[in-house]
Amino acid sequence: MLLQNKKIAIVGGGPGGLTLARLLQMKGVAVKVYERDINKDARVQGTTLDLHEESGLKALKQAGLLAAFKQHYRPGADRMTIVNEHAEIFFSDHEAKPEADFGNEHFRPEIDRGPLRMLLLKSLQEDTVVWDSQFISAERQGDGWLLHFKNNASAYADIVIGADGANSRIRPYITAIKPFYTGISGLLGSVHDPEQTAPHIYELLKGGKIMAYGGGKCFIVASKGDGSMSFYISYKTGEHSLKNLADKAHILSWFKNDFLGWSTVWHQLLEHAETPLMPVPVYCMPTDQSWETLPNLTLIGDAAHLMPPFAGEGVNMAMLDALELSECLAGETYNSLPEAISVYETNMRKRAALMAQESLDNGERMHSEHALQDMVSFFNDHDLQ
Ligand SMILES: Cc1cc2nc3c(=O)[nH]c(=O)nc-3n(C[C@H](O)[C@H](O)[C@H](O)COP(=O)(O)OP(=O)(O)OC[C@H]3O[C@@H](n4cnc5c(N)ncnc54)[C@H](O)[C@@H]3O)c2cc1C
């Protein structure tokens, strides 16, 4: 095997990095994950994730973790209501969609980020993850790399895999290409106890998702396993125009001003959101990117191919990268590491470029003046099959 007696360092313990660690360990490979978070209990923030049959779920199946996933996913959380800016319903699949339909390519079960991370962590050998290891730099040492971390620790690895997400610090060691701004930004927030604090939206949500469209603006709400709701409000605006909004009165006046004509129903969420709301400008790696393969360093997930979140493909591509890279590195097909990494990277870039383009196109569609009609007909055509 190409990885015999090699030390592998995965930088970043998100879904991509942890899936890769699991798959490599199953093949007997010595692997460490260096993760920035202080420990496993650090709060994993963000919206929920839907896993797809041909990518995220495929990787979990190969990792022997489908049964664990079935214990932790949230049946019904993939059901959707599409409304206009006045919260009037134009589409709902709550009645028609089955709770579980594993094996159907249109079934995209939802899981919160925290439980997904926990089930991956539990599958790893003890001490695989080295917490509180924020990577800051690397230098070549022999045929491998000496990695340096913010806590002053260092570690040697024969092969380094950057799985450190959107703002990857590993990426510059292989390519100078940077993500570009897509023209869309959003604010991310969450509301606790929404049944009491935002009853109208809670009723509409029914444990699933709401997508609201009006005037080129988009308001997405998702239920979470701990009973809270997360929301993401996005529109076309300047790259740096959204700031941390901490003051409730300021948040409301921003919404009333920038979301002119939207119903006061949405104010329930903004009035009870945890503050500050987090600005999320949307970036994408160029779809025609390429780089020269290195024999001892590569990228997976957002580090390799950051894309907008508008097709729900980011986490799925990260987990499929993990599966394909593990097969290239720890399989018997290739004669050398450069060959194995080159095959992985070529296929990964091609596949991710298609998904990134779809995500960019969806972003345009979701933020156009006729988004409501377009999204309703899209889901009528695709969702209820
Ligand atoms: C608002 C929003 C909504 C989204 N919704 C969806 C969705 O519905 N479906 C979907 O598929 N995708 C969605 N995405 C995208 C998805 O979150 C990412 O594509 C996915 O998490 C990528 O996984 P990853 O493992 O590559 O990186 P990440 O999940 O970003 O994990 C990277 C890990 O590396 C660690 N790290 C970072 N820097 C360092 C460092 N210097 N040293 C050590 N460790 C480091 C981080 O702490 C983290 O644990 C969304 C993104 C956003 C912003």
pLDDT over 90 (residue 45): no
- From the CA of 314, give the closest atom in ligand 1: 19
Tell me the mean pLDDT in the region 347-372: 98
Q: Where are the domains positioned within the chain?
A: 7-43+125-178+287-364, 180-284
CA of 139 to the centre of ligand 1 (A): 25
pLDDT value, residue 184:
98
The answer to whether the beta carbons of residues 302 and 49 sit under 8 Å apart is no
- Pick from 101-105, 262-266, 297-301: least confident: 101-105
pLDDT value, residue 43:
77
pLDDT value, residue 245:
76
Tell me the mean pLDDT in the region 279-297: 97
pLDDT over 60 (residue 347): yes
Tell me phi and psi for residue 219, to 5 degrees: -130, 110
With cut-offs at 50, 70 and 90, classify the pLDDT of residue 6: very high
Same fold: 7-43+125-178+287-364 with 180-284: no
The answer to whether the beta carbons of residues 144 and 138 sit under 8 Å apart is no
Residue nearest ligand 1's atom 35 by CA: 12
- From the CA of 12, give the closest atom in ligand 1: 34
Tell me phi and psi for residue 379, to 5 degrees: -70, -30
pLDDT over 70 (residue 256): yes
Length of the chain: 385
CA of 166 to the centre of ligand 1 (A): 7
Q: Indicate whether residue 309 lines ligand 1 (CB < 6 A).
A: yes
241 or 322: which carries more pLDDT confidence? Answer: 322
The answer to whether the beta carbons of residues 152 and 143 sit under 8 Å apart is no
CA of 26 to the centre of ligand 1 (A): 24
Q: Indicate whether residue 85 lines ligand 1 (CB < 6 A).
A: no
Residue 300: which of 17, 7, 41, 77 has the closest Cα?
17
pLDDT value, residue 237:
96
Tell me the mean pLDDT in the region 269-278: 92
Q: Indicate whether residue 59 lines ligand 1 (CB < 6 A).
A: no
Residue 186: which of 229, 251, 238, 232 has the closest Cα?
232
Tell me the mean pLDDT in the region 78-82: 96
Tell me the mean pLDDT in the region 374-378: 95
pLDDT value, residue 326:
98
- Pick from 38-52, 113-127, 148-162: least confident: 38-52
Question: pTM value?
Answer: 0.97
- Give 231-247 pLDDT, tens digit per residue: 999 999 999 998 877 78
- From the CA of 301, give the closest atom in ligand 1: 26
> Which amino acid type is present at position 258?
D
Q: How many CB atoms lie within 10 A of CB 385?
A: 7
Q: In 3-state terms, what secondary structure has residue 179?
A: coil
Tell me phi and psi for residue 318, to 5 degrees: -60, -40
Residue 118: half-sphere exposure toward Cβ, Cα within 13 Å: 14
Burial class (CB in 10 A: 0-12, 13-18, 19+), 93: middle
Report the run of H or E that residue 25 belongs to, with start and end: helix 15-26
CATH topology of domain 180-284: D-Amino Acid Oxidase; Chain A, domain 2 (3.30.9)
Q: Indicate whether residue 16 lines ligand 1 (CB < 6 A).
A: yes
Which residues neighbour 193 within 8 Å (Cβ) at sequence distance 6 or greater? 227, 228
Q: What is the mean pLDDT of the chain?
A: 95
- From the CA of 44, give the closest atom in ligand 1: 49
- Give 134-161 pLDDT, tens digit per residue: 999 999 999 999 999 999 999 999 999 9
pLDDT value, residue 243:
81
- From the CA of 134, give the closest atom in ligand 1: 42
CA of 240 to the centre of ligand 1 (A): 21
- From the CA of 168, give the closest atom in ligand 1: 38
CA of 226 to the centre of ligand 1 (A): 20
pLDDT value, residue 384:
56
With cut-offs at 50, 70 and 90, classify the pLDDT of residue 258: very high
With cut-offs at 50, 70 and 90, classify the pLDDT of residue 42: confident
Percent of the chain at pLDDT exceeding 70 = 99
- Give 289-319 pLDDT, tens digit per residue: 999 999 999 999 999 999 999 999 999 999 9
Q: Indicate whether residue 363 lines ligand 1 (CB < 6 A).
A: no
Residue nearest ligand 1's atom 12 by CA: 314
CA-derived radius of gyration, the chain = 21
CATH topology of domain 7-43+125-178+287-364: FAD/NAD(P)-binding domain (3.50.50)
Q: Which of 10, 34, 164 to mutate to test the pocket of ligand 1 (most atoms within 8 A of CB)?
A: 164
| Residue ranges of E strands in the chain | 7-11, 30-34, 49-50, 80-84, 89-92, 110-111, 129-130, 135-141, 144-149, 154-157, 159-162, 180-191, 209-214, 217-223, 229-236, 278-284, 297-299
pLDDT over 70 (residue 217): yes
Tell me the mean pLDDT in the region 241-261: 89
Q: Indicate whether residue 49 lines ligand 1 (CB < 6 A).
A: yes
Location of structure tokens 């924020």 = 134
